[in-house]
Every structure is written in structure tokens, then in C-alpha cells.
């Protein structure tokens, strides 16, 4: 019996050792994919699949010795062109002046590709999976598994040669794909893509000196937070809701954001639905209506709504 116990212990040690070795190699893959989307010159097309809904985009990126530029073009008619030059992001509208903000990446692209690895490793375990052929290219699977219940996990398939992301699945607790980001065309070149040259030199509007109103002081308390989330201090107000909002919290774990709104009840039934990986949960009582919007499970959204007092 003691020999058998010792044998089992040896197996456990070997398995644990394998996992320890697998983790650094998996995070090396993560470094590779983040380097690919920040350092390469590329012209790519991708689709975002949310159930039966499909959105199509073209994403062009380039670097010179001094500057970085990228252009996100929706190929559906109702989208908005987005251009980033270094830390200036321009939302280019056909019928209104451009909206200008700041950031080191375009927020409409998968945040996972740009968030600091230290924060991702705080929230996820990384495991390298097997390879398969995807769109004629050899692709390596990287699984990012959530450490906390209620948080979505991610499966990424990376081009073996370049590390460029070919597919990203957002998975529920039950390992169901809620949303899929899928590259349909990819071209990487040593030179800056030609159509970015003109945009690099183009005269673009400066950010307006606008004062963003802060959200009103909360009249209620939020007595529970999901693991890893913290409220953002003094979040920006929401002009569309400023006359009806009683309390508002914007929560973040560094990668995702979740909004919690409190308004007077409109006597609608409690309801929950998903738009891809985004949950919209509305809880109604006789006096209040609490709405939770963000990339969390419906159960987590329900707990957040119930924590408003």
C-alpha cells in the first residue's frame, strides 16, 4: 500500500511539474500575440459572430520608427470609421464632426489583445493547447481559463508563424461560445500599408476642450462586488440618463467594465438577455429598477442587482 501511495505521489508530482512548465510557455504565446498586433504592419478582415448576428470589419495597422497608426473600418453600412494615431483616437462620422478621445488601442478591438499581461495573469490561468489548420494556416490554441466563477474564459488560436490572432472565442461557465472573433483575411508586410501613408500625414481635428460631467452621487449602496472588480471613482456621467438616474456605478477588473444603473421603477417585469458576451439584466421592484450591463454571467448580474440597497 505504501509503495502504491508513493507511486501515486510521484504521478502527481510529474503532472504538477508539467503544468508549471506549461504555464510559462502559454504566457510566451500570449506575449507573441500581443507583439503581433502592436508591431506588425498588416491589413486584415474579421467578423464578430453573436448568435445569428454577424458584423464585418477591416483592420489596418502600421508602424514607423516614430509613430503607430491603425484604422478600423466597419464593412456594414451602419458603422463608424475609427482611426488611431499614437494616443489619439478619432471617430470619423459622415454627418457630424469627428469625436476625438485618447488611448493606446481602439476600444472596439478585443481588449484581451492589449491589456497588460500582469493583469491578465491575475484573472486567468494560461494553458497551451494543440495545433490545427485554420484557413489554410497552422494555428496554435491558447486557453485563458478564468480563476473566478462567473467570469468568462477565452480560447485564442494564433498563427504558428507570426503569432497573429486568427480566432478568439468568449466562453461561458458551461464552455459555450457566446461570441466569436474570426479573421477571414490576413496580409502582413514589411512596409506600412499604402492607404495608411496618407492618413499618417492627414490634417485631423484636435480634441475639443470639453468638460465631462461626473455621474451623480449615488443615493443607494452597492453591498456586493464580483471577485476582482472594483468601482471606478468618479465615473463620467451618462447624458442620456442624467434626468432619470438615481445611482450609478461603473465597475472594472482592469479588463472588463460593468455598469449598474438605478432608476425609478417603470413596472416592467424582471428580464435578462445576452448580446453575444454582454449580459443585460433588468430587475424591477415596486419602487426601483436596477439595470446591469456587462460581460458577466446572468447569475453574477442578478447578484449585483440584488446587492443594491
CB 60 within 8 A of CB 166: no
Domain match, 169 and 41 both = yes
Q: Residue 210: what pLDDT?
A: 54
pLDDT confidence band for 19 (50 / 70 / 90): very low
Judgement on whether residues 190 and 240 belong to the same structural domain of the protein = no
Q: Which helix (H) or strand (E) holds 228?
A: none
Burial code of 77-86, b = ≥16 C-beta within 10 A, e = fewer? eeeeebbbbe
285 forms beta bridges with none
288 with 181, same domain: the answer is: no
- Please determine, for residue 11, whether its predicted confidence score (pLDDT) is greater than 60: no
- Per the CB < 8 A criterion, the answer to whether 161 and 174 are in contact is no
Please check whether residues 139 and 252 belong to one and the same domain.
no
- Starting at the edge strand found earlier in the chain, the sheet holding 99-102 runs 99-102, 88-92, 81-85, 68-74, 53-63, 41-50, 177-189, 165-171, 153-159, 137-146, 124-134
pLDDT tens, 142-155?
999 999 888 999 99
- Confidence category of residue 296, pLDDT binned at 50, 70, 90: very high
Among 135, 108, 143, which residue's Cα sits nearest to residue 19? Answer: 143
Q: What is the pLDDT of residues 54-98, one digit of tens each?
A: 999 999 999 999 999 999 999 986 778 999 999 999 998 877 788
For 101-108, which contacts have Cβ atoms below 8 Å and span 24 or more sequence positions? 101/207, 102/207, 106/70, 106/72, 106/82, 108/72, 108/82
Strand bridging mode 53-63 / 41-50: antiparallel
**Residues 241-294 pLDDT 10s:** 666 789 999 999 999 999 999 999 888 899 999 999 999 999 998 789 999 999
Beta bridge partners of 59: 44, 72
**Domain identity same for 185 and 264:** no
User: Quick check: 164 pLDDT over 50?
Assistant: yes
Give mean pLDDT, residues 201-225: 76
* C-alpha closest to that of 61 among 207, 165, 195: 195
Looking up residue 257, the CATH number of its domain turns out to be 3.30.200.100
Whether 10 is in a domain gets the answer no
Q: What's the confidence (pLDDT) of residue 115?
A: 96
**Res 239: pLDDT:** 63
Phi first, then psi: give them for residue 204, nearest 5 degrees.
-120, 155
Domain annotation covers residue 5: no
Q: Is the pLDDT of residue 8 over 70?
A: no
Residue 156 resides in a domain: yes
Q: How confident is the model at residue 238 (pLDDT cuts 50, 70, 90)?
A: low
Q: Are residues 97 and 190 in the same domain?
A: yes
Domain that holds residue 280: 230-306
Question: Does a structural domain hold residue 55?
Answer: yes
102 part of a folded domain: yes
> Tens digit of pLDDT for each residue in 119-147?
999 999 999 999 999 878 899 999 999 99
Kindly state whether residues 189 and 67 are assigned to the same domain: yes
Specify the CATH number for the domain of residue 104: 2.50.20.10
pLDDT at 245: 87
Asked whether residue 276 is assigned to any structural domain, the reply reads yes
Q: Is 6 helix (H, G, I), strand (E, B) or coil?
A: helix
Q: State the Cα–Cα distance between residues 113 and 33, nearest whole angstrom.
A: 7
> Average pLDDT of 195-210?
81
The whole-number pLDDT of residue 32 equals 97
Residue 286 lies in a domain: yes
Same domain as 154, residue 46: yes
- Choosing from 201, 217, 245, the residue where a domain stops is 201
Please name every residue paired with 251 in a beta bridge, in sequence order, or none if there are none. 231, 258
**With contact defined as beta carbons under 8 Å apart, do 143 and 106 qualify?**
no
Q: What percent of the chain has pLDDT over 90?
A: 68
| Residue 143 sits in the same domain as residue 242 | no
In a domain, 176, yes or no: yes
The number of domains in the chain is 2
Residues 284 and 174 in one domain: no
Task: Tell me what the pLDDT averaged over the chain comes to.
Answer: 87
pTM, rounded to two decimals = 0.86
Residues 196, 264, single domain; the answer is no
Q: Looking at the structure, tell me whether residues 152 and 244 fall in a common domain.
A: no
Q: Closest Cα to residue 48, out of 82, 76, 19?
A: 76
What is the rounded (10 degree) CA torsion for 235, 241, 242, 245? Answer: -80
* Residue 219 pLDDT grade (very low, low, confident, very high; cuts 50, 70, 90): confident
φ, ψ at 211 (rounded to 5°): -100, 120
Amino acid at each position: 500500500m505504501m509503495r502504491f501511495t508513493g507511486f501515486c505521489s510521484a504521478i502527481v508530482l510529474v503532472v504538477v511539474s508539467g503544468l508549471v512548465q506549461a504555464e510559462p510557455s502559454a504566457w510566451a504565446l500570449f506575449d507573441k500575440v500581443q507583439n503581433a498586433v502592436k508591431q506588425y504592419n498588416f491589413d486584415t478582415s474579421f467578423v464578430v459572430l453573436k448568435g445569428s448576428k454577424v458584423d464585418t470589419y477591416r483592420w489596418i495597422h502600421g508602424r514607423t520608427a516614430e509613430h503607430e497608426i491603425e484604422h478600423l473600418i466597419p464593412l456594414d453600412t451602419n458603422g463608424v470609421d475609427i482611426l488611431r494615431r499614437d494616443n489619439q483616437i478619432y471617430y470619423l462620422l459622415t454627418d457630424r464632426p469627428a469625436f476625438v478621445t485618447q488611448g493606446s488601442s481602439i476600444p472596439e478591438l478585443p481588449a484581451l489583445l492589449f491589456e497588460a499581461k500582469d493583469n491578465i495573469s491575475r484573472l486567468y490561468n494560461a494553458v497551451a493547447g494543440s495545433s490545427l489548420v485554420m484557413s489554410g494556416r497552422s494555428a496554435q490554441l491558447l486557453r485563458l481559463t478564468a480563476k473566478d466563477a462567473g467570469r468568462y474564459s477565452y480560447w485564442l488560436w494564433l498563427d504558428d508563424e507570426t503569432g497573429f490572432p486568427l480566432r478568439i472565442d468568449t466562453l461561458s461557465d458551461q464552455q459555450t461560445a457566446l461570441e466569436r472573433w474570426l479573421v477571414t483575411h490576413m496580409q502582413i508586410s514589411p512596409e506600412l500599408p499604402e492607404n495608411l501613408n496618407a492618413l499618417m500625414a492627414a490634417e485631423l481635428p484636435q480634441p475639443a476642450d470639453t468638460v465631462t460631467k461626473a455621474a451623480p452621487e449615488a443615493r443607494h449602496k452597492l453591498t456586493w462586488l464580483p471577485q476582482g472588480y472594483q468601482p471606478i471613482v468618479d465615473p463620467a456621467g451618462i447624458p442620456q440618463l442624467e434626468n432619470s438616474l438615481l445611482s450609478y456605478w461603473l465597475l472594472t477588473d482592469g479588463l472588463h467594465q460593468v455598469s449598474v444603473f438605478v432608476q425609478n421603477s417603470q413596472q416592467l417585469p424582471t428580464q435578462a438577455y445576452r448580446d453575444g458576451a454582454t449580459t443585460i439584466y433588468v430587475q424591477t421592484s415596486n419602487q426601483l429598477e436596477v439595470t446591469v450591463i456587462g460581460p458577466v454571467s446572468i447569475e453574477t448580474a442578478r447578484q449585483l442587482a440584488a446587492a443594491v440597497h
